[in-house]
Amino acid sequence: IGGTYAVPILLLPEVAICALGKIVRRIVPDEEDDESSSSSSSDDEYCSYSVRSMMSASWSADHRVIDGATMARFSNELKYLLENPLQLLINQ
């Protein structure tokens, strides 16, 4: 269908659930340009862009069991592993 975001709904006895969106290609500024643009405000400054694959992830959790910081750490770890899939093999 091509949806970008979803709202996952927990059903008992689930504790957490994730809804993954469609992978899309987006134009984003290069990372090294983020630092230089904040220190300089020149209108004719060169800025480079790249096309990146991006995917949204929406989380729901039972906060009686899991707090938001734990979900954020898990989400960051999932992001890292998706960006570096060889780590799944190396860390075993």
- Residues spanned by the domain of 70: 1-21+56-92
34 is catalytic: no
CB-CB contact of 78 with 57 (8 Å) = yes
**Which pLDDT value is given to residue 91?**
65
Catalytic hit among 30, 34, 62, 67 = 67
9 and 28 part of one domain: no
3-state secondary structure 50-68: EEEEECCEEEEECCCCCCH
Domain count, the chain: 2
30 is catalytic: no
30 and 40 part of one domain: yes
**Which pLDDT value is given to residue 17?**
95
Q: Using one digit for the tens of pLDDT, what is the confidence trace for 30-85?
A: 877 555 555 555 555 778 999 999 999 999 999 999 999 999 999 999 999 999 99
| Average of per-residue pLDDT across 2-8 | 78
